[in-house]
């Protein structure tokens, strides 16, 4: 047994153990104490010094030892001076079930390090969503963590960390493993073109990629689809809450839209003047549309600056993407070549397509057997920030508030969760918190977490790259995680293929 100490005092908010000499215990480590009918799982949230010797005498003795040669051996005495570890009881496990502890472990009980077999009760649900392995401090245990994927995805996920702590790697791991399942369609809005794996390993390298991964880009590699949208598929409500518009401009847009629902953008571009709209408003809109859609006119002839928007192709792009998602595929939109506002507009257009399709299916009673759809969005405060939503809601705000009813959820990635309104943060029922140095960001996360993680602030600040804390309404406890490095999946897969090769006697390589 790997005993680390014995319980000496404390209460429900913190159980204090005296650490055994020569043992090292880290913040965040998981420990267990066994009883007759089950065992407690406890987590280290603080560590301090303890001593039998009064402080005054310790200071004096330390001074004497420092300043002159003396043999004060009682100072080094391990019986009188020791380390105290403060633990939070997080779970009680007995053979039949596990629950939050409602009693304290026995006084003077021995506390030991957790082992894999102490966590075997965590089973793999149906429709699993894989997160990584359980971590005890910085030790990784061979226990894989899965939650009920459909529920987690439709109730929104927040992934939060300072830059470089491993958010994108985590998303690669989540989405790659989801390609093994059929219960979810994923729309990945990818501003850094890092998920498909155009130049290195990515989702395209999954064995199911050929059937399940669809890649849209403005400069697609062979076999991928071209990201192009016909202006006829753009509606005025795609712009609101994403492009900043005055009331006069919105009125003008709807006026032209109601006159001609297909050609309203081109008609605004071509309009010299209009009885109901001021020339200034028209001019500003022309400039804005030029910026966003790359459209302009000269002598009554329309031209496009780039090939993202068009008046001759891309009429079925939105429909095709939503069809793929409805069939449980993963659609990656490479938005790396688009400006920030255009990227959000494109993301919003597809999000709107998904939401309205699923809302219709729900009203017709056909939603039940459909996969859920999750939309992954980087730097989420750009569409879910307080300042943005104060100006009027957008499709992402709508999905955050009511998408769950229609099986549509968000995976919002951010470095700055404090910018997202509290009410929306609280609606994100699963949070994967990775290393976060800034204390106001940690507070925003802790306050809105499904589990009480108020003691975890220090742990969160000290999380290393790839380490995370998973809090979720679909988990009984906040789970410390280590996310695998995405590239490592392939070294494992390779050996898997090799095994198969030998079994079947066929040389696949
Ligand atoms: N789980 C992990 N294990 C080991 N190394 C990792 C892990 N996750 C990330 N890394 C390393 O850290 C680097 C940065 O990770 P990543 O790009 O995922 O961070 P990020 O949080 O998305 O950063 P940014 O804020 O810049 O988008 C990776 O290139 C990888 O080398
Ligand atoms: Mg990233």
Which domain range does residue 379 map to? Answer: 128-200+328-336+361-497
The answer on 174 and 81 residing in a single domain is: no
Tell whether 142 and 100 lie within a shared domain. Answer: no
| Whether residue 9 sits in one domain with residue 66 | yes
Query: Which alpha helices (DSSP H) does 339-394 contain, by range?
Result: 340-363, 381-384, 386-390
Residue 216 maps to a domain: no
Residue 179 lies in a domain: yes
Residues 139, 110 within the same domain: no
**Tens digit of pLDDT for each residue in 17-62?**
999 988 899 988 999 999 999 999 999 989 999 888 888 988 888 8
Angle, nearest 10°, between helix axes 395-402 and 340-363? Answer: 40
Average pLDDT score, the chain: 91
In a domain, 183, yes or no: yes
Taking 70 as the pLDDT cut, the residues of the chain under it are: 1, 69-76, 492-509
Beta bridge mates, 91? 41
Cα(330)–Cα(185) distance, integer angstroms: 6
- C-alpha 160 – ligand 1 centre gap (Å): 12
Q: pTM for the complete prediction?
A: 0.90
Give the residue whose CA is nearest to atom 2 of ligand 1: 466
Residue whose tokens read 């802790």: 446
The closest-lying atom of ligand 1 relative to the alpha carbon of residue 132 is 1
d(CA 175, ligand 2 centre) in Å: 14
Chain segment 168-191, per-residue pLDDT in tens: 999 999 999 999 999 999 999 999
- Strand, helix or coil at 351? helix
What's residue 502's pLDDT? 30
Among residues 153, 195, 151, the alpha carbon closest in space to that of 173 is found at 195
As residues whose CB is below 5 A from the ion ligand 2, the structure lists 167-168
Distance 164 CA to ligand 2 centre (A): 7
Which ligand ends up closest to the CA of 468?
A: 1
Q: Is 61 in contact with 40 (CB distance < 8 Å)?
A: no
Query: Rounded distance, CA 490 to CA 509, Å?
Result: 15
Write out the E strands in 403-490: 408-414, 430-434, 467-472, 479-482
159 within a domain of the structure (yes/no): yes
Same domain, 411 and 290: no
Q: Is 96 in the pocket of ligand 1 (CB under 6 A)?
A: no
Integer Cα distance of 157 and 420 in angstroms: 13
Which CATH number covers residue 460?
A: 3.40.50.300
Task: Answer yes or no: is the C-beta of 436 below 6 A from any ligand 1 atom.
Answer: no
Q: Is 465 in the pocket of ligand 1 (CB under 6 A)?
A: yes
Residue closest via CA to ligand 1's atom 15 equals: 166
Query: Is 281 a domain residue?
Result: yes
CA distance 463 to 431: 15
156 plus 302 within the same structural domain: no
Is residue 219 a part of any domain in this protein? Answer: no
């Amino acid at each position: 047994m790997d005993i680390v100490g014995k319980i000496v005092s404390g209460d429900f908010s913190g159980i204090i153990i005296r650490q055994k000499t020569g043992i090292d215990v880290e913040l965040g480590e998981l420990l267990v104490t066994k009883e007759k009918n089950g065992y407690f799982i406890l987590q280290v949230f603080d560590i301090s010094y303890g001593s039998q010797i009064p402080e005054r005498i310790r200071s004096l003795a330390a001074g004497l030892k420092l300043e002159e040669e003396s043999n004060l051996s009682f100072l080094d005495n391990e019986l009188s001076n020791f380390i105290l570890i403060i633990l939070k009881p997080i779970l009680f496990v007995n053979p039949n079930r596990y629950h939050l502890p409602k009693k304290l472990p026995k006084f003077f009980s021995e506390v030991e390090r957790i082992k894999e077999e102490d966590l075997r009760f965590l089973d793999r649900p149906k429709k699993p969503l894989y997160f990584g392995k359980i971590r005890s401090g910085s030790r990784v245990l061979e226990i894989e963590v899965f939650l009920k994927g459909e529920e987690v995805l439709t109730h929104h996920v927040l992934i939060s960390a300072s830059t470089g702590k491993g958010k994108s790697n985590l998303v690669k791991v989540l989405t790659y493993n989801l390609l093994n399942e059929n219960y979810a369609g994923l729309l990945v809005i990818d501003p850094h073109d890092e998920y498909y794996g155009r130049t290195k390993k990515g989702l395209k390298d999954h064995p199911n990629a050929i059937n399940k991964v669809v890649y849209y880009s403005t400069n697609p590699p062979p076999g991928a689809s071209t990201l192009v949208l016909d202006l006829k598929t753009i509606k005025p409500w795609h712009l609101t809450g994403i492009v900043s518009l005055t009331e006069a401009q919105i009125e003008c847009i709807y006026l032209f839209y109601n006159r001609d629902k297909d050609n309203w953008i081109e008609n605004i571009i071509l309009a010299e003047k209009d009885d109901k709209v001021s020339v200034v408003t028209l001019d500003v809109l022309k400039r804005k549309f030029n910026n966003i859609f790359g459209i302009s006119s000269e002598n009554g002839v329309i031209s496009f600056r780039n090939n993202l928007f068009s008046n001759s192709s891309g009429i079925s792009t939105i429909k095709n993407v939503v069809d793929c998602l409805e069939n449980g595929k993963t659609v990656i939109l490479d938005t790396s070549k688009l400006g920030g506002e255009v990227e959000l507009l494109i993301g919003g257009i597809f999000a709107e397509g998904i939401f309205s399709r699923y809302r219709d299916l729900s009203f017709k009673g056909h939603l039940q057997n459909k996969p859920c759809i999750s939309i992954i969005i980087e730097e989420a405060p750009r569409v879910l920030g307080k300042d943005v939503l104060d100006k009027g809601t957008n499709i992402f705000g709508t999905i955050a508030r009511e998408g769950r009813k229609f099986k549509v959820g968000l995976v919002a990635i951010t470095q700055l969760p404090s910018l997202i309104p509290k009410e929306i943060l609280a609606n994100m029922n699963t949070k994967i918190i990775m290393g976060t140095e800034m204390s106001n960001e940690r507070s925003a996360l802790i306050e809105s977490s499904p589990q009480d993680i108020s003691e975890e602030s220090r742990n969160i600040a000290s999380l290393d790259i790839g380490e995370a804390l998973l809090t979720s309404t679909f988990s009984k406890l906040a789970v410390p995680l280590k996310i695998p490095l995405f590239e490592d999946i392939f070294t494992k897969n390779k050996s898997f293929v090799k095994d198969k090769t030998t079994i079947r006697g066929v040389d696949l390589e």
